[in-house]
Amino acid sequence: MGRGYIVENMVEKYLSSLQAPDSTGTSCVTGLLIGQSTSQRDLVALAVRTPQRNTDGQGSPSINRRAWISLDHLDVEWVTEHARQVSRMLPGGLSILGVFLVTVPELSKEAQNTLRQLIFAVDKHISKGRLWSLTNEDVTEKVALHICTGTRKTVCRTFDIRDPKSSAKPADWKYQLGVCTSWQVLTCSVGLDLLIPVLDMRVLPQDMEKCMKEGLKIWAKQIEVGLCLINGKILADETEIVAGQKKNAKPVQQTFQAQILIPMAEPPSVQTSTVLVKMCSGSLSLKGMVHCRAYLQSNKSRVEDAAKVIKRDIINTVSSRVEMFLEGLLMEGVDNGKLPNLSALLLYVIMSTINLLSLYLP
């Protein structure tokens, strides 16, 4: 048997409620599976169907309503965009584990190829702007779940996203009560004070993203190599964050305070011997506080696991808000019929009800 998936019971009820054809006359339903990956198994906490796509005020599903005998008209672009928006909203420790597809019996033979296409398209779209790097311990298998409305038969397969030519592998899909209870909580606050050079103040908003990403990559690397304290203490990577708990004891949710200490200078191993000087006409300044929250399901989670999920959430939060800022800037310019003058910008992007990230050009 392949990889195992432990699924919250509420997910079973949700998937059972999805029908194809649905009220819109659509012959299939697509959606995302959300949860947490561990080295031994994956935990599925939530399933979310792809919403209808609005075109000229009229709701339209992710597949052509007339495509009853084929999945060729599935709107892959809309499914991947939905995945990107959902991934932005997820707290640390949770990610999109895969996709599901509910079809009428006539489309069951096509389902596997369609799921494979969706798996790789979703992963490519989500990881496009990612600022952190995968490690050897990261799970790269994504789940593809097919449900036939006629027989209610469930087929679970996985694909390795590292290999574009990978074939489907069987996986074990089991429902269980209480998967979403007693998750350990990590909180962390990080101050931002970044100065990113801008070579040309006349650069267009769509080109500004590249400039911002280059500047954020340096900061993201500092976060990745930073020292993570748990409740103010330096602990060994292999230490369990819930220490001293009796065997078979009932899990209890606990909250841990994480702190990230960033080195003041690069270590000798990564220092460069040459310095490149470029003329800049301005700079972008990112200042504020980032408040993040991450979740770990297992009581045997190590300090290394805790540090990884909270660091990645910090990086993802800042990166996502910068993307949203630039997207909003571009859309505002399109709505007004012209692109805004970046040299006169003084804008603020709300990160949450209590977090503020300001971006401005002097």
Ordered structural domains, the chain, with CATH: 4-176 (3.40.140.10), 184-268+277-360 (no CATH)
Among 213, 226, 194, 235, which residue's Cα sits nearest to residue 308?
A: 226
Which pLDDT tens digits describe the chain residue by residue (362 residues)?
A: 689 999 999 999 999 999 876 655 667 899 999 999 988 889 999 999 999 887 544 444 455 444 455 788 899 999 999 999 999 999 999 999 999 999 988 898 899 999 999 999 999 999 988 999 888 889 999 999 999 998 889 999 999 999 999 999 999 999 999 888 889 999 999 999 988 887 765 666 666 777 888 889 999 999 999 999 999 999 999 999 887 555 566 667 899 999 999 887 665 555 555 667 777 777 788 889 999 999 998 778 899 999 999 999 999 999 998 888 888 877 776 555 554 444 434 333 333 323 334 333 33
User: DSSP of 45-90, one letter per residue?
Assistant: EEEEEPPPEEETTEEE-SB-TT-SS-STTB-HHHHHHHHHHHHHHP
- CA gap 168, 112 in Å, rounded: 8
pTM: 0.85
